[in-house]
Copies of this chain bind each other. A is one copy, B any other.
Amino acid sequence: MEKKYRVAIVGATGAVGEKMKEQLEKRQFPISSIKFLASKRSVGKEIFFQHHVHFVEEATPEAFEGIDIAFFSAGGSVSKELAKEAAKRGAVVIDNTSAFRMEPTIPLVVPEVNKKDLHSHQGIISNPNCSTIQLVCVLEPIRQALGLTKVIISTYQAVSGAGSIAVQELVAQNSSYGNRLSTKAEVLPVKSGSKHYPIAYNAIPQIDQFGEDGFTLEEWKMMNETKKILHDPTLAVSATCVRLPVVAGHSESVYIEIEKENCSVEEVKTIIQQAPGVQLLDNPAEQEYPMPLFSEGKDDVFVGRIRRDPANPKGFHLWIVADNLLKGAALNSIQIAEALMEEGLV
């Protein structure tokens, strides 16, 4: 008989928590019991799961007693407070926040890329940043086949990455077009920041707070997480992250330099076609290329606009799009749990 698991979702009422619940249902994850946990103010809220009503319970250390797998997506501070408590009680934590991603002893996993890293887990596994996940799904097969020396990324990121309140704000702003500059803005680019800008009819070159050397934390996450997941600390990666008036689907304009000489565009396309979790969508004659609007609700990472830099035979452009709440967050977390099952680690 198939083994079944006692599962908890922490941050059950958030945008990613909601998608995690949907993914568990859709993928028929083998569940024997499920707990929906959140902060005190959501306690008692109803959640429908597999045709039954569940009630949100408070996320406390004791709530993790008897849990096998705990999905965390309630912000870094909640993970810092409770992930170790859950692990101590025997749960394997799959954490969707940035709390532990760069800790050397904690695996940072995209199953298609580095499933083997799961074997070293000590109770907590980190789910990478949304914009990193879709990138490494494409970079790793290229790196293995052609060698990879340089990556320059410009992102085009959806507001749902900043939570449901950011989506609501965009939709409200879009309805007040006549009055663009006086549009109310309270969420983006960073809710806790001192300044907010409208995202409707705009592009904001700031995601998360600013960190060292003029890069934002989102940019540092992409650069550092990519190197950790690919086990290539000397890979040259540099990123610019930009928020768009798009609800769902992150897009990335990615420039790579490979090691292999005389590599054709067709060769790159074949590698991408064969990559797990990745779909090639690249037919200029038919105007076929990935777009965020059409990535919504889809599991795969889509790649198109593949072409060689006319000035550099080892330089290639890629356009990479994925649903940031699915492969970029909830789906990858569930896939980590599935990989743990496959590897006999849970």
Q: Which residues of A approach B to under 8 Å, CB–CB? A: 150, 152, 154, 156, 171, 174-175, 177, 180-181, 189, 193-195, 197-198, 200-206, 210, 213-215, 223, 235-238, 240, 242, 244-247, 251, 253, 255, 265, 284-287, 289-294, 304-312, 315, 317, 319
* Pairwise interchain contact A197-B293, C-beta atoms closer than 8 A: yes
Query: Which residues from B are CB-within-8-Å of A244?
Result: 156, 203, 244-245
Closest to A151 in B: B311
* A306: B residues at CB distance < 8 A: 214
Contact A201 B310 (CB under 8 A): no
Chain B nearest CB: distance from A170 CB in Å? 8
Whether A291 lies near B251 (C-beta < 8 A) is: no
Measured CB to CB, the nearest residue on chain B to A224 is: B310
Tell me the number of copies of this protein.
2
* 10 A-B contact pairs sorted by A residue (CB < 8 Å): A152-B255, A174-B174, A175-B175, A195-B286, A201-B247, A210-B284, A213-B310, A214-B307, A238-B309, A238-B315
Q: Which residues on B sit within 8 Å (CB–CB) of A171?
A: 177
Which residue on B lies nearest to A156, using beta carbons? B203
Most buried by B among A181, A215, A235: A215
State whether A203 touches B246 (Cβ < 8 A). yes
Closest to A200 in B: B174
Q: How far is the CA of A155 from the CA of B89 in the complex (A)?
A: 50
Query: With a CB–CB cut-off of 8 A, which chain B residues contact A195?
Result: 286-287
Cα(A198)–Cα(B293), bound, Å: 8
